Structure 1
């Protein structure tokens, strides 16, 4: 853990008598991470940030100079990006786009809309003609392949609400060629088949499969393709398992003949988790330590209403203990030493658990617990207002290890 995180925790703790509860986002770390990612990418590729992982405005601002653009999946997300930049390229995805969302996407000059169904395509053709607005689209395709890596979350290669089955390709193209369509233009294809893949070599194989499919479609239907969006899905490990090896991935891409032969066709990637996960910290204070039968529980100020990822994924979330000195009570301070403890939150539900049977050297009531790797899918997927507890504070590390 960054030493500066501990410094922030101590300073924040000293400034308030309330138990500490906060998110700390390392914006400088995110920027350096993305700069390193882009350095190794082949020239035919572009990096977008999928803001669903964390749509914090300060993170969007921090990434603006370093990514090609942003991927959004709702009008709410679209507005957050446009609040930061009126001109940055935006990709608009999601399986349930409403008419008003498609109209807003046109108004806000979306670069590409990912079309997820034949009905959505027909609606878009009607709305674009009505508004006299020319729109570029990528058809999101659900392709069957045996080369998909095995992950906890799969959106393609099987029955899914995402994308258009490849058997419907001809029907989609025929809709685009109908006389009524004067404003919607096919520019390429979008693929996003899985989430949190750890295997760099298999990820390259999957992309090769995408590129082969597109080549087949180009020759079969006489298509001119400008963009192939290969989605995200790059994995972050929350245990001892090695995470996704980005340098290996980009090295294999650079050596790939299929990528080298893309010509003017651009290959997009739109990771979210992989960009921000390692640069967020959820900091909470231990409120109580108690025994129940033969098990020890540490109750924290906070829980899954602030960080739902552990409960959602069913994993133990990595953490560190930061000792804090303050103990204002006249009675003995509860603590545990060289013991197992289950870390739970303040909610009235047994599902409010962040770590089961953690082995800790020392933990006291009043110490801080720092849940690392909390930059993605932690705060924004949580049920913030369940039971009405206060929200955490938010702090941002900026250039020179300053924080705000």
Structure 2
């Protein structure tokens, strides 16, 4: 992959005086990764892609023939998927769904809607009745347990805006059983208690706990559950430490007593970051280097307005240096460091525009290109693209032929 990127970078610099600044998404790599995940997926389960991680249209198209469907968290995301396929299954989650969003979800044939509150449930019952359309729902539950893996992002097991408190399960089921409800059908439960967990053993235990809770509610409330959505949350690391072990996770599920009691109940997984993170590259050229208070800074064409993840998460984003031979048109030597620590910063006028602090580099000079790996998830999507009005990066896509193809509207 790096050889392909080096050739492409050299081509860019031969053909343009503009500094390199682009995202490259490896569509073939994403497909290979998902096929590998599916090969190990246990029976009674389905894999969905949570497009919030990266809603790029080309990525959705690449995943369309492989995944069971897509998870969306807004009407904007829903319409992106429907622009690609009118029939692919969609899971619609997220707190604060507005009336118009619930209505559009019904009209766009969402397969399962994740109910996040009692108010949302009552509104949905009225809208479905008005539209005379059956809506299948999964109640998203915030569990009352502290026995969840500890990650940087917790979305359950304590006070949270996400989902229904576990103590409200009975009331939600009672609402669904009211005579006024003629079109909303309870199909199961949704759990998404955390994000970016790297411990496969604890994640498998958590899924088993979900199954036990659903079994308990089936018995207690005399309901029949056909779907348990166990969410995503499979972790990716940016510091070189091991990420989530998918083979171990799926093997542990297959061995668990709870999994082998599922019968006809299906378990959904809806990862986002874990599917795409390792297959995106933010590629940007060094445009200046300077020494300040005995510290070297390399200024890149781009920064956190293109890739906000390191600033958002407070980490140093991993990168590789591609040494280039861009033509130098000036009479003085290029600024360069050898065997030194360099802080990588962007072009914004804020000290928070940092991609990596005190990176050890063998050699770095103006005109070299930095390839920020693991930039496939959240990096572009969550960024403040128009701050200061700098141009956006260009988007390219590696196909199975290994050649970047032209960017398209996302």
Cα pair 1:21 1:285 within 8 Å, conserved: yes
Alignment match, 1:353 = 354
Cα distance in 2 between the residues matched to 1:176 and 1:73: 23
C-alpha separation in 2, matches of 1:69 and 1:152: 27
Query: In 1, Cα distance between the equivalents of 2:92 and 2:281?
Result: 29
TM-score w.r.t. the length of structure 2 is: 0.97
Runs (4+) of structure 1 moved beyond 3 Å?
none
Higher alpha-carbon deviation: 8-17 or 319-328: 8-17
Please, what is the CA RMSD of the aligned residues? Answer: 0.8
Describe the SS at the equivalent of 1:140.
Answer: strand
The match for 1:234 is 234
Helix, strand or coil at the partner of 2:291: strand
Residue 383 of structure 1 and its aligned partner are, at CA, apart by 0.2
1:67 aligns with 2:78: no
In 1, Cα distance between the equivalents of 2:16 and 2:292? Answer: 31
Cα deviation digits, residues 22-68 of structure 1 (max 9, x gap) = 00000000000000000001111100000000000000000001100
Matches within 5 A, 1:63-102: 63-102=63-102
User: What is the DSSP-based 3-state SS (H/G/I as helix, E as strand, rest coil) of the residue aligned with 1:399?
Assistant: coil
CA distance in 1, matches of 2:31, 2:61: 10
Q: Distance in 1 between matches of 2:202 and 2:229?
A: 17
CA contact (8 A) 1:41 1:254 kept: no
2:145 aligns with 145
| Correspondence for 2:403 | 402
- Aligned twin of 1:36: 36
Bigger shift: residues 59-68 or 326-335: 326-335
The 2-side partners of 1:48 and 1:329 are apart by 53
Q: CA deviation at 1:397?
A: 0.3
Match in the other structure for 1:332: 333
For 2:48 and 2:289, the matched residues in 1 are separated by 44
Match of 2:196 in 1: 196
Query: Hey, what does 1:246 align to over in structure 2?
Result: 246
Report the equivalent of 2:20: 20
The C-alpha deviation readout for 1:4-23, integer Å capped at 9, x for no partner, is: 12222222222211001000
Counterpart mapping for 1:99-138 below 5 A: 99-138=99-138
Unaligned runs of 5+ in 2: 406-410
**More displaced 10-residue stretch of structure 1: 125-134 or 309-318:** 125-134
Contact residue 147 and residue 205 of structure 1 kept, 8 A: no
- Name the residue aligned to 2:263: 263
> Is the counterpart of residue 364 in structure 1 residue 362 in structure 2?
no
After TM superposition, the structure 1 = structure 2 runs for residues 43-62 of structure 1, keeping only pairs within 5 Å, are 43-62=43-62
Tell me, what secondary structure is at the counterpart of 1:86? coil
Cα displacement (A) at 1:2: 3.1
1:389 aligns with 2:390: yes
Gaps of 5+ in 1: none
Partner of 2:408: none
Contact 1:147 1:202 in 2 (8 A): no
For residue 182 of structure 1, give the secondary structure of its aligned residue in structure 2: coil
* TM-aligned CA deviation for residue 258 of structure 1: 1.1
Contact 1:95 1:161 survives alignment (8 Å): yes
Aligned equivalent of 1:309: 309
CA contact (8 A) 2:281 2:376 kept: yes
CA distance in 1, matches of 2:329, 2:394: 23
Give the SS at the match of 1:34: helix
